[in-house]
Structure 1
Amino acid sequence: MANDGGNEPVNTGRRRFLTATTAVVGAVGAGFAAVPFIKSWNPSARAKLAGAPVMADISGLQEGQRMILEWRGQPIWIVKRSKAILDALPTLDGRLRDPESKVVDQQPAYVLQGDPEYRSLKPEISVLVGLCTHLGCSPEMVAEIRPEPYDADWKGGYFCPCHKSRFDMAGRVFQGVPAPLNLLVPPHHYQDDNTIVIGVDPEAGA
């Protein structure tokens, strides 16, 4: 599909963890609250751009909330998903471009070892890079299960207003939209039940 202005799609195979300009995070869907950027545990800006890991305390994260961090100049979304959202994910497979996440460089293999439709280490906690895989815009989280103007059977997910790409609440891209790939899942692990470390795989963090 042709791209506006001659821009190439985001080549996540080569540029997966290169520094990207952080886009403004979109509005959160009704009933969902965004948690402010975590600053106290983050390393310096120079260290973050160099790839230093960042940590997040998710002990206060409530169902339906999104926490936003910054790692390597990219927004990282940590979302606590509801049971209704998790139950809806398998029903979307037939509408998605890569429902089984077969493009291997879009996520670490370990996030597919449980239920691959969740793309997460823990079913209820999603960790994604919040940049559209079309041209790098930051999609909006529209997490309520209800009809939307762009999808009468919307089951919650992410909508990019720049060029109308859509992703489900696991970051899997819909068919027939400009974005060619699922949202990235960054390397991460749990230091303990309430602490996520972004930028380090579980084996390295063990």
Structure 2
Amino acid sequence: MSNDAVNVTRRRVLTAATAVVGAVGAVGAAVPFVGSWNPSARARAAGAPVRVNISRMEPGEMVTVEWRGRPVYIVRRTREALATLEQIEDRLRDPESEVPQQPEYARNRHRSIREEYLILLGLCTHFGCAPTFRPDVGAQDLGGDSWLGGFFCACHGSRFDMAGRVFRGVPAPTNLEVPPHAYEGDGLVIIGVDQEV
């Protein structure tokens, strides 16, 4: 075999080997690059709907879950708490929920799909502090007999009733926000998905 034939064979082998190594390198570089286009599991979870089992909640109980990095309050209201909603409307800034802070299906006196369950973003509409749940009727530090239960923001003194509606004369300008939510059967609520009407 002549030197020219050996050199041609050698060049072909080296060219093929270089092409293979180059292709492997290109794939190795492309996989993480293309993978970076997909949102991380944490990013997907931050915007994903949250399913909450409410079947074991007792009347008067509140649970807090996180949706999109924000607290969501779920309250199972008692019959007595629901009865107070009409009694205090003359002391509220927006009793009819005219400022759109809830889906249309929750634009009613109780601001919910199901009367018994209240679902709110747990952020005061003044500066975003987390109001505390104060269902204790007649609490002396909140006005005595005039306090029929609700939420109190200790940051600047804003008060909200058992439907998350803001009282007059407090710093918060609007009612607490009602996030989109839907029910799957009797015992499961999904935060972040609109109820089909």
TM bin, normalised by shorter chain, reads 0.7 to 0.9
2:57 partner amino acid? L
Superposition misfits of 4+ residues, deviation over 6 angstroms: none
Corresponding residue of 1:56: 52
Aligned pairs (5 A) from 1:7-86: 45-49=42-46, 51-86=47-82
Q: Which residue of 1 aligns with 2:193?
A: 200
Q: TM-score, normalised by structure 2?
A: 0.76
Deviations 1:129-169 (A, max 9, x none): 00000000001111021142232210000000000000001
Q: Aligned with 1:176: secondary structure?
A: coil
Ranked by relative contact order (alpha carbons within 8 Å, sequence separation 6 or more), the top structure is 1
| Structure 2: tracts of 5 or more residues without a match | 1-40
Matched to 2:65, the amino acid is L
State the distance in 1 between where 2:195 and 2:142 align: 38
**Residue 141 in structure 1 maps to residue 133 in structure 2:** yes
RMSD of the TM alignment (CA)? 1.2
Percent sequence identity is: 49
Deviations 1:142-197 (A, max 9, x none): 10211422322100000000000000010000000000000000000001111000
In structure 1, the partner of 2:179 is 186
Q: Select the structure that is richer in helix.
A: 2
TM-score (norm 1): 0.73
Partner of 1:34: none
Shift of 1:47: 2.0
SS at match of 1:84: helix
Which runs of 5 or more residues in structure 1 are unaligned?
1-43
**What is residue 93 of structure 1 aligned with on the other side?**
89
Count of aligned residue pairs for this structure pair: 156
Deviations 1:86-112 (A, max 9, x none): 0001011000000000001x1001012
| Aligned equivalent of 2:167, options 155, 169, 174 | 174
Q: Which one-letter code corresponds to 1:124 in the other structure?
A: E
